Amino acid sequence: MTRSVSLIFMVVQTVGIVFLIRLSRAPASNNPGYLNSTVVFCAEMCKAMISMVMLLWEMYPLHHMKLVMLMQHCFNVAGLKPVLLPCGLYTLQNNLLYLALSNLSGAEYQVTFQLKILFTALFSVMILGRNLAARQWFALAVLTAGVMAVQSRSVTETRHSQLSAAAQRRSFGYGAILGASIISGLAGVCM
């Protein structure tokens, strides 16, 4: 039951985020827009505050010693070193995702971003030395074929339009989502 609820929540959350970002990035005459980096920064600050609240909740009731431990834990620079690279990569990835969503349709974005699974598998084989079964390699090949099928439609449209402005934006969006997929795979393996 918990798995089903978690899966439903994750699907709703993922689709909701893509829908809201696409809606907020839609051009409007009275909408001045916003900086992607500002949204990513605010989201990361919200995550940090939620993490602090959850940590305080776990430590309840707070005693003086627990509060000192919390402060030492939160401001321990040496303890942050192992997560600095993945944090930086995920921040870059989030900025690229906003660029991709500004230049691709929601469906193209969702399907193409599934390449993160392929890159995570490739990096886990190359960096961590893990072995994948033949069935897993076959699943990755099917995933890649599905993404290529979605992109082949865009390539055909691009040839017919002779790199119109829309085709250039779509190519830029695909480059951004490909970069985000590679970074996601690398960051996942680095954690």
- What pLDDT score was predicted for residue 74? 73
Q: CA triplet 90, 96, 102: central angle to 5 degrees?
A: 140
> Which pLDDT value is given to residue 167?
80
pLDDT tens-digit profile of 8-18? Answer: 888 888 888 88
Residue 18, Cβ neighbours under 10 Å: how many?
Answer: 18
The per-residue pLDDT for 190 is: 84
What is the pTM (predicted TM-score) of this model? Answer: 0.76
Sequence-distant (6+) residues with CB within 8 A of 50 are none
| Cα 152 to Cα 17: distance, rounded to the nearest angstrom | 26
**Is 60 exceeded by the pLDDT of residue 29?**
no
Region 89-100: mean pLDDT is 90
Give the pLDDT mean for 25-35: 68
pLDDT at 57: 77
Q: What is the pLDDT of residue 155?
A: 58
Condensed to tens digits (0 to 9), the pLDDT of residues 120-178 reads 999 999 999 999 999 999 999 998 998 888 777 665 555 555 567 778 888 889 999 99
Alpha-carbon gap, residue 84 to 106, rounded angstroms: 30
How many other CB atoms sit within 10 Å of the CB of residue 112?
A: 24
pLDDT given at position 125? 94
| CB-count burial class (<10 Å; 0-12, 13-18, 19+) for 26 | exposed
What percent of the chain lies above the pLDDT cut of 90?
A: 24
Task: Specify the pLDDT at position 160.
Answer: 57
Query: How many C-beta atoms lie closer than 10 Å to residue 122's C-beta?
Result: 16
- Residue 113, φ and ψ in degrees, nearest 5: -70, -15
Q: What's the CA gap between 104 and 81, in Å, rounded?
A: 35
pLDDT given at position 45: 87
